[in-house]
Amino acid sequence: MSLIDDARAVRENAYAPYSKFKVGAAIRSASGTIYTGCNVENVAYPEGTCAEAGAIAAMIAGGDTRIAEVAVIADSPKPVSPCGGCRQKIAEFADGDVAVTLATMDGIVQRTTVADLLPGSFDADYMSRV
């Protein structure tokens, strides 16, 4: 089973009664463990949770802190990219060269990296005077 397959499977559990836009994400941690997440909407927008954030929370709860690979899938005409906030969340736990696979339910796949998704990311180096 590939990381996209894991994201596809968890996508089915998404709670998206308002937008009907289900998203699944899967993360392979540096230890090799797979963590998944799906979007969870809330009638009080924007109080929902993105799929990527859910997968990251599962990873941290599982005791891992480093991302080795990311996959995101949605039923859209082109591969859906993580939102800006999730890009920053991913960058917190992944090096810039970490592979990110974006896919559609129809099999269109785009491969990129964390650095390409979030050039000039805000990182711990900015906090050196604190």
Domain ranges in the chain?
3-119
User: How big is the chain by its Cα radius of gyration, in Å?
Assistant: 14
Say which CATH class 3-119 falls into. alpha beta
Pairing of strands 99-104, 23-29: unpaired
Mean pLDDT across the stretch 67-73?
98
* Per-residue pLDDT, 46: 86
Indicate whether 20 pLDDT > 90: yes
Residue 89 CB-density burial (10 A; 0-12 exposed, 13-18 middle, 19+ buried):
buried
H or E element that contains 89: helix 84-93
Residue numbers in the known binding site for substrate are 39-45
Cβ-contact 58, 87 below 8 angstroms = no
pTM over 0.85: yes
Residue numbers annotated as active site: 52
Indicate whether 130 pLDDT > 70: no
Angle, helix 84-93 to helix 51-61, in steps of 10 degrees? 20
The amino acid at residue 105 is M
Mean pLDDT across the chain: 96
Indicate whether 58 pLDDT > 90: yes
